[in-house]
Structure 1
């Protein structure tokens, strides 16, 4: 016989098995998942770095091959020049043509040497070297005698992995109608809309374009300034003469 107390609510009882290790297993699973994710991110970063260095190595090898070929052509041209100077049968015009070709080849060799020096600096930087530096700066003549192409390469040591942030200013100095005068790149190039060019890179950054000199202006050189956007960083001032390569 079951006695029921009038007015009280009856509750049903259920037996639940005790699992003391279920919480520990769940925590271990989360920790394992985090370790797997971190390892995957690390190896992905290492893979991208290896790919970048392999690409730079290939470019460096190609530049060396081009340099060797050009040096061979250069030596051949030197012999042709010597023969032309000693021979009385060759015309003055042909001799000047060979000389012009020789100058062009030497200019290409100088540019390739700069490229090789840059790639060596990226792949095998010197200990204690500057964090940020100018890899190369080139001015080239175009078909228009007032128009020039410029190429500026800024780099940092491959031993450093942080992102470089800052700005670069580019000023052409010379004389306007006999008086000293300077022009920021903004006033000479339609491709530039600010007096400072933003820098943001991990290994290197190329800055290139075209500029046009004003009438009556005789250029004497280029002043480059690189500054870090942080409190501690780099502040580089460099001046180059107005040395123009034939394109």
Structure 2
């Protein structure tokens, strides 16, 4: 009887120790992955900056520009795979926080020499093991103020008529499996704000076939 009484807490203690060791091992794997992902994203930002300079500088050869775009595309795919692995390990440690599906990753915005014109790029990604294509459409608006009106909402489609962005009316259709860049291949599209309009944020709403819509807002560029 004494042995039985002692065996129960001993088994409980052993189980707790095994779980702590497993959690520590997973946490140790996450740290270098997160560091590597941050380094890759920093490299991607540098390449985006190079593309922006290349597109505005007539002295840069188009061949070199295309090579940068190809490098960006490959790096974006590598970053996506790293994100998938990182998401998996974080999901093991905190299963309740893991949600598969579409991610509106970022709306990248860059100023130009014209104070009313801006370059932009939208990045989408997907978390999960499903290889079936995601189909849907994006509704992007720019919110701000104009004159006496404190809240004005403008359609991105009315501000940008770029050949690399496939607008259908006010919407941007998309189909992809793992990673989607709009425009594609490291390019940037351009938008132009009307006179007197002061932007405050960008709202991106993704309608996903068979799923609930996803929405995210991004602050406008800091004027400083």
Q: What is the correspondence of 1:115-130 to structure 2 with a 5 Å cutoff?
A: 120-126=82-88, 127=91, 128-130=98-100
> How many residues are paired up?
140
Show the counterpart of 1:178: 148
Q: Does 1:228 align with 2:217?
A: no
Secondary structure of residue in 2 paired with 1:125: helix
**Residue in structure 2 matching 1:240, options 214, 218, 221:** 218
- Structure-2 residue corresponding to 1:203: 178
TM-score after normalising by structure 1:
0.49
| CA RMSD, Structure 1 to Structure 2 (Å) | 3.1
CA deviation profile, 1:210-245 (whole Å, cap 9, x unmatched): 10000010001111100112xx32411111111259
Q: Which runs of 5+ in 1 are unaligned?
A: 1-58, 70-114
Match of 1:216 in 2: 196
Q: Highest relative contact order (Cα 8 Å, sep 6+), 1 or 2?
A: 2
Secondary structure in structure 1 of the residue aligned to 2:157: helix
Question: In the alignment, is the contact (CA less than 8 A) between 2:101 and 2:126 conserved in 1?
Answer: yes
Preserved CA contact (<8 Å) 1:140 1:244:
no
- Give, in angstroms, the shift of residue 62 of structure 1: 7.5
2: CA distance, partners of 1:122 / 1:245: 35
Tell me the distance in 2 between the aligned counterparts of 1:123 and 1:139. Answer: 28
Give, in whole Å, the separation in 2 of the partners of 1:210 and 1:144: 11
Gaps of 5+ in 2: 1-35, 47-75, 92-97, 184-188
User: In structure 2, do the counterparts of structure 1 residues 64 and 193 end up closer, same or farther at CA, with 3 Å as the change threshold?
Assistant: closer
Which residue matches 1:141?
A: 111
TM-score in terms of structure 2 length: 0.54
Q: Deviations over 1:41-98 (max 9, x none)?
A: xxxxxxxxxxxxxxxxxx969727849x9xxxxxxxxxxxxxxxxxxxxxxxxxxxxx
- Once the two structures are overlaid, the 10-residue window that deviates more, 134-143 or 219-228, is 134-143
